[in-house]
């Protein structure tokens, strides 16, 4: 019987999907499940919903909740798998701070959870909590695998892999939906059966390097033709990534609202017309948070009603990974791992990269990719600079490395002077207060 600890179990929808998948898996359905959170109300709601799903699936699992940091070690004790889905600082106050203070400097964002000044600050306030998790795991479940779903993915997973002894893989569903979503958006769904594709790069900017139909024919020429035509004939939700196809030659994993802020090209105060041209939703993440908070009670009732409904496994990797390790049955994923040994030859070995991995009883074995096209490696490298500097700041508590990370961020550097960047960082550190450790 496996033990699964879910950190951030108050993320009810996500916990339902991951743990519901486990309850539909024969090797996992009798697991001991530890639900951990620091919010008692949300933890109680999740326990009720997960319990209802368990009963609907036969009641095989045992479920127990653990509230607060004082009970964290007990939640983790003896775990085989630890799923991380925490959000440190929540929407209010931290996300509000990450968006509103940069606006004063003329710096606009869409999501702010992966890169940019918002991603940097989110990483800096999350790493200390995950470092606490790591210390506990090294003592009470030293053999456990950490499955990290929390953003900023590359920063957090990279920190865990380089600065702790915890076996870690980062997981993001954008890999799973990338190729299929592209074909559906271009009315090419007939090519989905038997589709073959290769993705490699970094989280939220993994490149769709190859996409072929069941007979091995390259689909990119037709994709390029249709993407070019669609961007010029209509407004739609994926205009930035279609522009990548035209300008860089390749599509990437994460959405256009994310990628709009991952580079110096699209959100520019000197070119405000680009926002409309590429249909870029500024302040998208705060807007989603407000809507989710406003509609939570109704959504919770819907989830509760769904608890006893017949379920099918989701497309999330977590339960498949656990199953593959426990049964020694090979399974292929797109995972975030260290670039050890030059899996992607033209990215640094310290980088956290996203690529194909084989999972079995031996753990997770990343697959060699080779070299990325130079322009794609350059795009990834501009992110990796920020990842490594943010990790260095968190590990050393030196404020200068936060400045450096923000200076190297493509969007921030394209909009602000160096003096403004230093001032912005100082103001954000002060505003976040106790959500951050003391930097010197």
**Residue 212 pLDDT > 60:** yes
From CA 29, how far away is CA 1, in angstroms rounded? Answer: 9
Angle between helices 374-396 and 239-248 (to 10 degrees): 120
pLDDT band at 403 (very low <50, low <70, confident <90, very high): very high
Residue 407, SS3 per DSSP: helix
Residue 204 falls in the annotated catalytic set: no
- Look at residue 111 and tell me whether its pLDDT is greater than 80: yes
pLDDT tens figures, 334-370: 999 999 999 999 999 999 999 999 999 999 999 999 9
**Percentage above 70 pLDDT, the chain:** 98
**Tokens matching residue 332:** 């292929």
Task: For residue 39, give the nearest of 5, 3, 86 by alpha carbon.
Answer: 86
For residue 54, what pLDDT band results from cuts at 50, 70 and 90?
very high
DSSP SS3 for 167: strand
Does residue 341 contact residue 349 with C-beta atoms inside 8 Å?
yes
List domains and CATH numbers for the chain. Answer: 3-90+109-172+295-307 (3.90.1820.10), 175-286 (no CATH), 326-366 (no CATH), 374-433 (no CATH)
Q: Where are the beta strands (DSSP E) in 9-141?
A: 32-37, 62-67, 81-84
Q: What's the mean pLDDT in 32-52?
A: 94
Q: Two tokens at 141?
A: 């479940």
**CA–CA gap between residue 266 and residue 243 (Å, rounded):** 10
Radius of gyration of the chain (CA): 21
Can you tell me the mean pLDDT for 21-34?
Answer: 96
Predicted structure pTM score: 0.96
Percent of the chain exceeding pLDDT 90 equals 91
Q: Look up residue 189 and give its DSSP letter.
A: G
Residues 146, 153: Cα–Cα separation, whole Å: 13
Pair of tokens at residue 13:
């929808």
Q: Give the per-residue pLDDT at 311.
A: 73
Tokens of 395: 């590990």
In this structure, what token pair is assigned to residue 133? 């998790």
Q: Name the residue among 71, 24, 13, 68 with its Cα closest to residue 46.
A: 13
Please check the confidence at residue 401 and state whether its pLDDT lies above 80.
yes
What was the pLDDT predicted at 308?
56
Kindly tell me if the per-residue pLDDT of 293 is higher than 90.
Answer: no
pLDDT of residue 312: 85
Task: Output the pLDDT for position 310.
Answer: 55
Q: How far is CA 234 from CA 189, 224, 271, 276, 426, in A?
A: 20, 16, 20, 12, 42
Mean pLDDT of the chain: 96
Question: Tell me, what's the pLDDT at 306?
Answer: 67
The average pLDDT across 79-84 equals: 98
pLDDT digits (tens, 9 = 90+) for 382-399: 999 999 999 999 999 999
* CA 165/CA 52 separation, integer angstroms: 36
Confidence grade of residue 309 (pLDDT, cut at 50, 70, 90): low
How confident is the model at residue 295, as a pLDDT?
A: 74
Which entry of 173, 197, 387, 401 is annotated as an active-site residue?
173
Neighbours of 169 (CB within 10 A): 23
Q: How far is CA 96 from CA 81, 290, 360, 405, in A?
A: 33, 11, 42, 21
pLDDT at 167 over 80: yes
- Model confidence pLDDT, tens digit, residues 86-96: 999 999 999 99
Section 134-155 average pLDDT: 98
d(CA 435, CA 418): 25
């Amino acid at each position: 019987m496996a033990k699964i600890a879910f950190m951030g179990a108050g993320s009810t929808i996500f916990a339902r999907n991951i743990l519901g998948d486990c309850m539909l898996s024969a090797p996992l359905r009798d697991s001991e499940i530890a639900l951990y959170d620091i919010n008692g109300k949300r933890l109680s709601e999740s326990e009720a919903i997960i319990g209802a799903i368990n009963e609907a699936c036969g009641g095989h699992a045992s479920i127990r909740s653990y509230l607060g940091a004082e009970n964290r070690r007990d939640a983790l004790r003896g775990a085989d798998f630890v799923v991380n889905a925490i959000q440190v600082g929540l929407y209010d106050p931290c996300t509000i701070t990450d968006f509103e203070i940069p606006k004063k400097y003329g710096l606009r964002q869409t999501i702010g959870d992966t890169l940019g000044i918002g991603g940097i600050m989110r990483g800096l306030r999350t790493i200390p909590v995950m470092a606490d998790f790591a210390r506990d795991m090294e003592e009470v479940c030293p053999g456990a695998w950490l499955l990290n779903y929390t953003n900023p993915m590359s920063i957090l997973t990279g920190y865990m892999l380089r600065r702790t002894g915890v076996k870690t893989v980062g997981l993001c569903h954008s890999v799973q939906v990338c190729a299929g979503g592209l074909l559906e958006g271009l009315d090419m769904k007939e090519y989905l059966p038997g589709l073959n594709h290769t993705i490699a790069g970094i989280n939220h900017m993994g490149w769709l390097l190859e996409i072929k139909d069941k007979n091995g024919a390259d689909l990119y020429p037709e994709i390029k033709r249709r993407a070019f035509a669609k961007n010029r004939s209509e407004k739609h939700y994926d205009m930035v990534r279609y522009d990548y196809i035209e300008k860089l030659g390749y599509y990437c994993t994460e959405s256009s609202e994310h990628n709009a802020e991952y580079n110096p090209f699209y959100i520019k105060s000197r070119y405000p017309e680009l926002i409309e041209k590429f249909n870029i939703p500024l302040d998208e993440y705060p807007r989603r948070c407000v809507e989710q908070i406003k509609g939570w009670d109704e959504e919770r009732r819907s989830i509760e009603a769904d608890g006893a409904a017949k379920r099918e496994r989701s497309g999330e990797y977590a339960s498949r990974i656990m199953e593959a390790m426990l049964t020694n049955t090979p399974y292929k994923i797109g995972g975030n791992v260290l670039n050890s040994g030059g899996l992607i030859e033209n990215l640094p070995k310290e980088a956290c990269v996203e690529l194909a991995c084989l999972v079995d009883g031996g753990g997770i074995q990343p697959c060699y990719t080779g070299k990325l096209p130079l322009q794609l490696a350059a795009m990834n490298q501009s992110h990796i600079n920020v990842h490594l500097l943010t990790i260095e700041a968190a590990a050393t508590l030196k404020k200068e490395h936060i400045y450096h990370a923000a200076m190297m961020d493509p969007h921030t550097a394209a909009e602000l002077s160096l003096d403004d960047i230093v001032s912005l960082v100082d103001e954000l550190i002060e505003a976040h207060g106790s959500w951050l450790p003391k930097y010197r």
